[in-house]
């Protein structure tokens, strides 16, 4: 009995080898096909991706909790060690901010008066949804995070994700329970910006490095290190005036920007629902921008 | 005496171990650990797992399953769908083709093999990503990821060996 089984197996050996090689070829072509399909922006690939992410979102939500708690404990310990210094620093900051508050109040009144004089059309105040980061890219090729909110909560493709420090990125994919945010450092991220002081427009283009660069800048535009960069609101996708970062270097005519956001501390993000009155919702379904020509 | 049906069920469930572990590692890859600058250099845990199981129990991790786990990881991580899948299949194919080289050799040989396979996998994924995005993707994070993966291999392989010893010994 045993002997017969072995001989059958030996007879079947070339066949199993052939089947294996066939499976290998089949699966390799399937992966390549998938890559090509994804490249030409097929909705099938996107739907598959969103479906998988959505179904795993509850698991990620649970699993990401302990790491968040652990990080919070470590942070607590760290601050505990330097409580006195921190207090001193905060007192100084508070003093400075109180002076700024006085300035801001006067400016606010002045601004209101001017707006009244000009009959200015106000931008709508964006409504927002707060969601927790439940996943990051975990790889070298993309800079994205996953949020635990989706279409069920009112998240839509194109909306801005911000935290207290400034703009983090934009929603590029959304499922029922989860949404993927393309961080502004990602290779595919393109955000219309202006320099806060000089109002020079540019596109902030990510390249997977920590410091995205300013491209499509006007001829003769001058950027100084320290210039604050904010969203311009061009295109109507993002609210204008969201702080992004500041110029740190202008080597070889390429200005690089250091984002304000601390990428390691992304925990809760606010997704802004910014809709300009009269803009059709269909314009909000744009996908991620392609690479520069 | 254990009944035959129950015994066979138990064997089948234990046989899922390599798949379950590889899938869990794929999920673990995208959990935010909040370590500064860690996300882009997260070790290629699934490559390690596929490499290990392809040496010791390739029968329990069929190529179609490896492909599925790769797609799953691509979907979660936001990488081009199919990229990790292709890399993992290639890793498994190479290891199975060279299985005689690894068979009943010491751990150092196994690690040495990983030292050869991992850079190949990184190179293929870099080529694919660069082709997909149409630009040369930054190499630095990939290099660090590779170093971390190689450094982590002994720990993870030890863990996998323990698991294999406890769960698959009788199977």
Structural domains of chain B in order of their starting residue, each with its CATH number: 5-167 (1.10.1760)
* Interchain CB distance below 8 Å, A34 and B82: yes
A17 vs A25: CA distance, rounded Å: 12
pLDDT of residue B1 exceeding 70:
no
* Interchain CB distance below 8 Å, A34 and B72: no
| Residues of chain B with C-beta less than 8 angstroms from the C-beta of A20 | 63
> Which two tokens mark A21?
């090689």
* Interchain CB distance below 8 Å, B64 and A139: no
Residue A186 DSSP one-character state? S
| Residues of chain B with C-beta less than 8 angstroms from the C-beta of A138 | 29-31, 39, 42, 77
Domain definitions of chain A by residue range? 127-273
The predicted complex's ipTM stands at 0.85
* Interchain CB distance below 8 Å, A146 and B27: no
Assigned fold of A127-273: Thrombin, subunit H (2.40.10)
Q: Which of A9, A63, A131, A140 to mutate to test the interface with B (most CBs of B within 10 A)?
A: A140
A33 vs A235: CA distance, rounded Å: 34
* Interchain CB distance below 8 Å, B81 and A45: yes
pLDDT over 90, % of chain A: 36
| Residues of chain B with C-beta less than 8 angstroms from the C-beta of A141 | 79-80, 83, 125, 129, 133, 137
Q: What is the pLDDT of residues A134-172, one digit of tens each?
A: 988 777 888 999 999 999 988 988 889 999 889 999 999
Across all residues in chain A, what is the average pLDDT?
A: 84
Count chain A–chain B contacts defined by CB atoms under 8 A: 156
Query: Which residue in chain A has the smallest CA separation from B26?
Result: A138
Q: Which of B30, B125, B129 sits opposite A138 (nearest CB)?
A: B30
pLDDT over 70, % of chain A: 88
Check residue A2 and give its pLDDT: 45
* Interchain CB distance below 8 Å, B70 and A31: yes
Q: B142: closest CA among A33, A140, A189, A173?
A: A140
**H helices within A82-126, ranges in order?**
83-118
* Interchain CB distance below 8 Å, B138 and A45: no
Alpha-carbon distance values, A215 to A46, A182, A219, A229, A243 (Å): 28, 18, 11, 13, 18
A246 inside 8 A of chain B by CB: no
Q: Residues with Cβ < 8 Å from A164, sequence gap 6 or more?
A: none
Check residue A273 and give its pLDDT: 83
**Cβ atoms A149, A57 nearer than 8 A:** no
Alpha-carbon distance values, A75 to A70, B31, B41 (Å): 9, 19, 22
| Residues of chain B with C-beta less than 8 angstroms from the C-beta of A63 | 27-28, 31
A237 vs A240: CA distance, rounded Å: 9
pLDDT of residue A50 exceeding 80:
yes
**Cβ atoms A45, B81 nearer than 8 A:** yes
pLDDT over 70, % of chain B: 96
CA dihedral of A259, A262, A264, A266, whole degrees rounded to 10: -100
Q: A274: closest CA among A120, A127, A166?
A: A127
Q: What DSSP element (H or E) covers B103?
A: none
**Cβ atoms B30, A60 nearer than 8 A:** yes
Q: What is the pLDDT of residues B38-57, one digit of tens each?
A: 878 888 999 999 999 999 88
């Amino acid at each position: 009995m045993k002997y017969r089984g072995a001989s059958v197996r030996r007879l079947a050996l070339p066949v199993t080898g052939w089947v294996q090689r066939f499976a290998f070829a089949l699966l390799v072509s399937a992966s390549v096909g998938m890559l090509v399909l994804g490249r030409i922006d097929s909705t099938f690939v996107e739907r598959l991706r969103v479906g998988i992410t959505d179904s795993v979102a509850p698991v990620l939500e649970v699993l990401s909790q302990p790491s968040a708690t652990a990080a919070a404990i470590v942070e607590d310990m760290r601050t505990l060690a330097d409580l006195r210094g921190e207090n001193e620093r905060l007192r100084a900051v508070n003093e400075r901010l109180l002076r700024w508050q006085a300035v801001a109040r006067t400016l606010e009144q002045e601004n209101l008066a001017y707006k009244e004089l000009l009959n200015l059309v106000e931008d709508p105040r964006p409504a927002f949804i707060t969601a927790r980061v439940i996943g990051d890219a975990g790889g070298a090729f993309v800079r994205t995070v996953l949020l635990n909110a989706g279409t069920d909560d009112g998240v839509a493709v194109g909306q801005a994700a911000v935290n207290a420090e400034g703009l983090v990125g934009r929603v590029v994919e959304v499922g029922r329970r989860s949404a993927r945010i393309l961080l502004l450092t990602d290779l595919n991220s393109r955000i219309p910006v202006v320099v806060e002081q000089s109002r020079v427009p540019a596109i902030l283009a990510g390249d997977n490095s920590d410091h995205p660069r300013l491209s499509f800048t006007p001829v003769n535009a001058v950027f100084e290190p320290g210039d604050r960069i904010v969203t311009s609101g061009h295109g109507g996708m993002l609210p204008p005036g969201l702080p992004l970062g500041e110029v740190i270097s202008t080597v070889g005519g390429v200005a690089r920007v250091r984002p304000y956001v601390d990428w390691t501390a992304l925990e809760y993000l606010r997704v802004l629902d910014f809709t300009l009155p009269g803009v059709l919702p269909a314009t909000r379904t744009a996908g991620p921008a392609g690479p520069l020509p | 005496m254990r009944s035959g049906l129950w015994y066979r069920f138990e064997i089948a469930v234990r046989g899922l171990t390599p798949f379950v572990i590889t899938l869990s590692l794929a999920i673990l890859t995208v959990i935010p650990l909040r370590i500064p600058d860690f996300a882009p250099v997260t070790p290629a845990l699934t490559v390690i797992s596929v490499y290990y199981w392809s040496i010791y129990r390739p029968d329990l991790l069929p190529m179609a399953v490896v492909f599925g786990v790769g797609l799953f990881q691509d979907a979660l991580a936001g990488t081009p769908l199919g990229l990790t899948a292709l890399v993992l299949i290639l890793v498994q194919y190479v290891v199975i083709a060279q299985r005689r080289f690894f068979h009943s050799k010491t751990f150092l040989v196994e690690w040495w093999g990983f030292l050869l396979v991992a850079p190949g996998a990184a190179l293929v994924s870099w080529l694919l990503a660069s082709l997909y995005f149409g630009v040369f993707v930054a190499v630095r994070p990939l290099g660090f990821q590779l170093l971390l993966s190689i450094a982590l291999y002994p720990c993870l392989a030890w863990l996998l060996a323990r698991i294999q010893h406890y769960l698959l010994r009788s199977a």
